[in-house]
Structure 1
Amino acid sequence: MVSYFALDATGEVTNFQKEISNMMHGFGDNPNPNAATVVLVEFIVHQQLKTMIQEAYQCSILRGSKAITNFDVIFQLRKNVLKLKRLHDYQIKLDMIEKRTSQLNISTPTSEPIMSGIILEEGKDPVVKKRRTHIDCIREIDEWDEVSSLKYDAIDYLRKIRAAKITESMSFEKYEAYHKARCASFRSGYGLGKGFIKLERWINPTKEFKLTNAALEVLCFVAYETVAEIVEAVFLIRQDAKKKSGDPFSKFEGGYFCNPVSLNNAVYIKSGYEGVSAITVAEVREVLRRYFSPRTGMNGLFYRNMGMDLPIRFLST
């Protein structure tokens, strides 16, 4: 398969194949993911983000905004309460890290003034515009307070159970590699201070759209969740493949099933990575086929009320 990449205005090649390979490893795939599968997943994520930017741009036009903000992107996630809850908790963690970083910076003496380059009129105080956080946008969209009613992150709960089961018999070397894979993201590097330069170069190479840093942060979250949804959906497909005629519990034997009720048998997966085969292109295509299949009624594909154009759907929503 030909490698998929994006070219910016300077002709520089930008891709996230290494990061996506690590993410798939962290979500439970083989430590050496299939190269063709990684390229396909990268293409899917790129197309999903490009489509989401187009929808967010239309939303920004209706609001009369000159740039795409985090509200325009979060508005596309409004139908998935669990994802909004994850983004809500993600913002809380970012605030904690930012607060801790600011405390460390304050303890370090600097020669530069805190508010340099600001000219104030006599008798007037500086006006500081409050940044609109992701939580503010979620509260504005969530009219029924569904996000605040969720007491815990069910998605994070299931992923932690799977990770705990996978790593229970790992050696130190394997665990170190797995930990690095779990830290992979769509930021420009490890850590929160690297920014989103590479991500913007990947999804907006010609600077066609004006994206704020807050919008890029949400898009980074969406891209990460898209990779996770694909990998987890493949595990569900493998679970269905183990069904035996006449045995309703056959799919739970040695598959990849996550049961949130039982902790002892939460993840039916072999310890370590010896028993986990790499995700194939066919499995990812099956995930897309099931997700984007049009609604079927009494007459299947000839359902008379089915429109010719399928609605826009995002894997992360």
Structure 2
Amino acid sequence: MTEQEELVICVPGQRLCVADKSNVAGAGTYEQQGYIYSKLAGIVKLVTDDKTRTVEVHSITEQSIVPAPGDIVTAMVTVVNQRFCKCSIKCVGDIVLTRPYRGILRKEDVRAIDKDKLEMYKCYRPGDIILARVMPMTEIHSYQLSTAENELGVVIAHSDEEIRQMMHGFGDSSEPLFESAKIIEDVVLQQMKIIVRRACEIADRRANSKKSNIINGEDLLFLLRKDKIRLQRIVKYLELKELGCSVQKLMTANDVPQNVTDPEQLDIKKKVPFQSFLEQIDNTGELLENSSSVDDVKRRRCIRADIASKSMDEVHYMKFSKARRVSFANKNRHKFSDWICADGDVTVSKQAYTILSYLAYETVAQIVDLAFLVRQDQGKMHGDAIDRQRLNYINPFTFKPRYHSKNFVMKPLTPSEITEALRRYWSPQLDMTGPFNRWSMRRPHLKLLSC
């Protein structure tokens, strides 16, 4: 290659010239084993200095850079097993790739010390975003990566551990399947996005036809106005949450009352959250009435939890109790707000996040309930066919887990059971108009599980 050549077209990985004191690798190139190679598909240009020539490659249209050994790349974990995890390389340095490249992060390249004690499942999960360094290629179709440096590793964690713990708290196995949790996570994320979009529409109406970018708790409660039981359930949850915050404030202070169960000593006024708003939308007087009816769904969940915990030992019961306390609220609020991927133009208030996290929690519970109903039908247990047609919940009399040496053992819910439960719930055959609703199975019109 001489300086008089005006136009030289190259492809990624093509060797251009010898790397020496006179030829230096520039933008779009890299040096390896004494030669200069091209990173891009484009035109070779020479920038001449006093004693050196800088070899550069400029793309003709879009930039199609390829990873080179030593580059720091941004990748997304796609598959994890015991020996390695597969990644999809998205960026090289600060440059976003036009198409992803395949990479492999082996177990011995995760960290520099204690390689024998490392477990890949505890280090990476599918969906994690990592920073890694490209190592010399040993395979043709994939790049070998390494995170054995302090500056490298997981940047954005995408873990479904909370959902797996929630599934266990609702009666699933102590080790729910990752595939099942992934399906539930996708459904919950989709449902929360739909709820946020509908709440934005309600916020626009509340702002008198003006564009409003703030979602309040009233906008989410308005979506529950047609379901009295669920609305009273979430109002009761908000009451208990406010009571817990009030008690916590008193406990931090020095003046602690003798009887913390007495509302008069706690100086707490008995008030229903969002009472004025509920009075405005309550045309029939049913939303705020103190009915003596029992919440059958919640009661059956409690019965199932009681059956599951009767034969547990202390270790399993502590794990089960911890799983029942997991939620998307409190310390996981900011993680939940990033997880639902709300638009930057939309602002969700603190109370709205509390309600939204509870709706996500209820969505997980609803899916687990329906999956147990599918398992009951698959096990050919005798039950009322009309109750199954009405999407009734798990029958506590037919909920029979397996026992081994006086320990509670539950077979984990499989992805096929969860998929079948969702198919039945979204099937138009269960609606009043049945198959005449042609639009009921389309994606934007799927029924919400928590509203």
Contact 1:31 1:273 in 2 (8 A): no
The runs of 5 or more residues in structure 1 that have no matched partner are 109-130, 260-264
Please name the residue that 1:212 is paired with: 349
Q: 1:185 aligns with which of 327, 330, 333?
A: 327
In the alignment, is residue 316 of structure 1 matched against residue 426 of structure 2?
no
- The alignment's TM-score, normalised by the length of structure 1, stands at 0.75
Q: 1:1-317, aligned counterparts within 5 Å? A: 5=127, 13-64=156-207, 65-107=212-254, 133-147=273-287, 148-151=289-292, 152-187=294-329, 192=330, 194=331, 196-204=333-341, 206-243=343-380, 257-258=394-395, 265=397, 267-270=399-402, 274-295=408-429, 301=435, 303=436, 306-307=438-439, 310=442, 311-317=445-451
- Residue 249 of structure 1 deviates from its aligned partner by 7.2
Quote the Cα distance in structure 1 between the aligned partners of 2:304 and 2:333: 29
**2:177, 2:213 → 1: CA distance?**
41
Q: 1:141 Cα shift?
A: 3.2
- What is residue 93 of structure 2 aligned with on the other side? none
Kept after mapping to 2: 8 A contact 1:49/1:203: yes
Q: Distance in 2 between matches of 1:62 and 1:295?
A: 33
| Counterpart AA for 1:170 | M
> How far off is 1:72 after superposition?
1.0
> Residue 166 of structure 1 contacts residue 270 of structure 1 at CA under 8 Å; is this kept in 2?
no
- What is the rounded CA distance, in whole Å, between the counterparts of 2:332 and 2:440 in structure 1? 41
> Would you say the 8 A contact 2:312–2:408 is kept in 1?
no
Question: 1:295 deviation in Å?
Answer: 4.4
Moved more, 14-23 or 34-43: 14-23
Q: C-alpha separation between the residues in 1 aligned to 2:384 and 2:237?
A: 36
Distance 2:373 2:175 in 1: 21
Structure showing the higher strand proportion among its residues: 2
Checking the alignment, whether the CA contact within 8 Å between 2:202 and 2:219 is kept in structure 1 is: yes
CA contact (8 A) 2:427 2:441 kept: no
Distance 1:58 1:14, change over 3 A: farther
Give the distance between the partners of 2:303 and 2:174, measured in 1 at CA: 18
Deviation at 1:300, TM superposition (A): 6.7
Deviation at 1:273, TM superposition (A): 6.8
SS across alignment from 1:196: helix
Q: How many residues align?
A: 274
Which TM-score applies when normalising by structure 2? Answer: 0.54
Please state how far the C-alpha of 1:276 moved relative to its aligned partner.
1.9
Instruction: Work out the CA distance in 1 between the residues paired with 2:228 and 2:431.
Output: 27
Cα 1:4–1:22 change in 2 (3 A) is same
**Aligned residue identity for 1:24:** M
Retained in 1: the 8 A contact 2:363–2:450? Answer: yes
Shift of 1:32: 0.5
Check the 8 A contact 2:304/2:399 in 1, yes or no.
yes
User: Are residues 162 and 62 of structure 1, via their aligned partners in 2, closer, same or farther at CA, if it must alter by over 3 Å?
Assistant: same
TM-align CA RMSD: 3.3
- Cα distance in structure 2, aligned partners of 1:100 and 1:296: 46
After superposing the two structures, state which structure 1 stretch, 150-159 or 81-90, moved more.
Answer: 150-159
Deviation at 1:216, TM superposition (A): 0.6
1:120 maps to what in 2?
Answer: none
Q: Which moved more, 1:152-161 or 1:89-98?
A: 152-161
* 8 A Cα contact 2:172 2:411, kept in partner: yes
Q: CA deviation at 1:106?
A: 3.7
Instruction: Write the letter of the residue equivalent to 2:192.
Output: L
Measured after TM superposition, the shift of residue 169 of structure 1 is: 1.1
CA contact (8 A) 2:168 2:174 kept: yes
Q: CA separation in 1, counterparts of 2:446 and 2:384?
A: 35
Write the deviation string for residues 125-155 of structure 1: whole angstroms up to 9, x where unpaired: xxxxxx9934544444333233424334333
How many Å separate the matches in 1 of 2:280 and 2:362? 22
**1:234 positional shift:** 0.7
Q: Which range moved further: 154-163 or 15-24?
A: 154-163
1:40–1:281 Cα contact (<8 Å) kept: yes
Judged with a 3 Å threshold, the aligned counterparts in structure 2 of structure 1 residues 315 and 205 are, in CA distance, closer, same or farther, namely closer
User: Residues 103 and 249 of structure 1: is their aligned pair in 2 closer, same or farther, counting only changes over 3 Å?
Assistant: closer
Shift of 1:289: 0.8
Residue 82 of structure 1 contacts residue 153 of structure 1 at CA under 8 Å; is this kept in 2?
yes
Q: Which has the larger radius of gyration?
A: 2
CA 1:172–1:59 in structure 2 vs 1: closer, same or farther (change >3 Å)? same
- Kept in 2, the 8 Å contact 1:258–1:268? The answer is no
- In the alignment, what sits opposite 2:47? none
Q: Which amino acid aligns with 1:217?
A: T
